[in-house]
Amino acid sequence: MSPKVRIKTLKIDGRDIGAREDETILQVARENGIQIPTLCHLDGLEPIGACRLCMVEVRGSSRLLPACVTRVEEGMEVTTKSPRLIRHRRMILELLFAERNHVCSVCVVNGKCELQSLAVALGMTQVRTPYRFPRFELDASHPRFVNDHNRCVLCARCVRVCDEIEGAHTWDIMGRGVNGRVITDLNEPWGESNSCTGCGKCVHVCPTGALSEKGTLREDAGKQRDFLPYLTLMREVRR
Amino acid sequence: MPIERVLAMASAQVEAESKFEHHIHVCVASGCLSSGSDRVLQALRDEVKGRGLENKVLVKGVGCLGLCAAAPLIAVFPEGTYYQAVKPEDAPEIIDSLGKAPIERLHCPTDRPFFQKQNKIVLENSGYIDPLRIEEYVARGGYQALIEVLTEMSPNAVIEQITLSGLRGRGGGGYPTGLKWTTVAKSPGTLKYIICNADEGDPGAFMDRSVLESDPHRVLEGMAIAAYAVGATRGYVYCRAEYPVAIDRLDKAIKQAKKTGLLGPNVLSTPFSFDVEVRLGAGAFVCGEETALIASIEGKQGRPRHRPPYPAESGLFGYPTLINNVETFANIAPIIRNGGAWFAEIGTRGSHGTKVFALAGKVQYTGLIEVPMGTTLHEIVYEMGGGIPDNRPCKAIQTGGPSGGCIPARFIDLPVDYESLREKGSMMGSGGMIVMDDTSDMVDVARFFMEFCVGESCGKCVPCRVGTAQMNDLLTKIIDGKATKHDIVHLEELCELLRDTSLCGLGQSAPNPVVSTLTHFRQEYLDRLVETDEEAAS
Amino acid sequence: MTKARLATVWLDGCSGCHMSLLDMDEKILEVAKVADVVYSPLVDTKDFPENVDVALVEGAVSSEDDLEKIQRIRKNSRFLVALGDCAVTGNVAAMRNLFGVRAVLDRSYRLTSVPAGSPPDQIVPRLLSRVRPLHEVVAVDLTVPGCPPSAGVIHHVVTELLAGRTPDVTDLTRFGA
Ligand SMILES: Cc1cc2nc3c(=O)[nH]c(=O)nc-3n(C[C@H](O)[C@H](O)[C@H](O)COP(=O)(O)O)c2cc1C
Ligand code: SF4
Ligand code: FES
- The pLDDT tens digits of the residues spanning C86-97 come to 999 999 999 999
DSSP collapsed to 3 states, chain A: CCCCCCEEEEEECCEEEEEECCCEHHHHHHHCCCCCCCCCCCCCCCCCCCCCCCEEEECCCCCCEECCCCECCCCCEEECCCHHHHHHHHHHHHHHHHHCCCCHHHCCCCCCCHHHHHHHHCCCCCCCCCCCCCCCCEECCCCCEEEEHHHCCCCCHHHHHHHHHHCCCCEEEECCHHHCEEEECCCECHHHCCCCCCCCHHHHHCCCCCEEECCCCHHHCCCCCCHHHHHHHHHHHHC
Contacts of C137 in chain A (CB under 8 A): none
pLDDT at B203: 86
Q: Is B503 in the pocket of ligand 2 (CB under 6 A)?
A: yes
Q: Is the pLDDT reported for residue C78 higher than 70?
A: yes
Q: Is the pLDDT reported for residue A121 higher than 80?
A: yes
Query: Which percentage of chain B shows pLDDT scores above 70?
Result: 99
Can you give the CATH number for the domain in which A126 is found?
3.30.70.20
| Domain co-membership, A74 together with A95 | no
pLDDT at B353: 97
Determine the average pLDDT of the residues in A123-133: 95
| Domain co-membership, B158 together with B272 | yes
Quick one: pLDDT band at residue A217, thresholds 50, 70, 90? low
pLDDT at C115: 84
- The pLDDT tens digits of the residues spanning B163-172 come to 999 999 999 8
How much distance in Å is there from the Cα of B415 to the middle of ligand 1?
23
- The pLDDT tens digits of the residues spanning A82-109 come to 999 999 999 999 999 999 999 999 999 9
Q: Is the pLDDT reported for residue B385 higher than 70?
A: yes
| Domain co-membership, B330 together with B355 | no
| Beta-carbon separation of C99 and A127 below 8 A | no
Q: Please give the domain boundaries of chain C with CATH numbers for all domains.
A: 4-96+127-162 (3.40.50.700)
| Domain co-membership, A94 together with A179 | yes
Count of domains observed in chain A:
2
Distance from CA of A99 to the nearest CA of B (A): 6
pLDDT at A221: 63
| Domain co-membership, A142 together with A45 | no
Asked whether the beta carbons of B62 and B129 are under 8 A apart, the reply is yes
Range(s) of the domain holding residue B276: 141-343
Can you give the CATH number for the domain in which A77 is found?
3.10.20.740
Indicate the SS3 state at residue C77: strand
| Domain co-membership, A75 together with A157 | no
| Beta-carbon separation of C89 and A106 below 8 A | no
| Domain co-membership, B322 together with B236 | yes
Quick one: pLDDT band at residue A237, thresholds 50, 70, 90? low
Determine the average pLDDT of the residues in A11-25: 97
Confirm whether B1 is domain-assigned: no
Range(s) of the domain holding residue A58: 7-81
Q: Is the pLDDT reported for residue A220 higher than 90?
A: no
Which A residues 6-45 touch B at CB under 8 Å?
A: none
- The pLDDT tens digits of the residues spanning B95-110 come to 999 999 999 999 999 9
Distance from CA of B459 to the nearest CA of A (A): 4
Q: Is the pLDDT reported for residue A219 higher than 60?
A: no
| Ligand nearest to the CA of residue B183, numbered in listed order | 1
User: What average pLDDT is seen over chain C?
Assistant: 94
Asked whether the beta carbons of B384 and B367 are under 8 A apart, the reply is no
| Domain co-membership, A27 together with A73 | yes
| Domain co-membership, A116 together with A60 | no
In this structure, the number of other CB atoms found within 10 A of the CB of residue A159 comes to 20
Quick one: pLDDT band at residue A218, thresholds 50, 70, 90? low
Determine the average pLDDT of the residues in A133-146: 95
Least confident of A133-142, A223-232, B462-471, C135-144: A223-232
Q: Is B226 in the pocket of ligand 2 (CB under 6 A)?
A: no
Least confident of B134-138, B183-187, C45-49, C52-56: C45-49
Candidate from C88, C91, C95 with C-beta closest to A126? C88
Q: Is the pLDDT reported for residue B271 higher than 80?
A: yes
Q: Is B458 in the pocket of ligand 2 (CB under 6 A)?
A: yes
Contacts of B537 in chain C (CB under 8 A): 67, 71, 137
Contacts of A178 in chain B (CB under 8 A): 454, 457, 459, 465-466, 469
| Beta-carbon separation of B537 and C67 below 8 A | yes
pLDDT at B407: 96
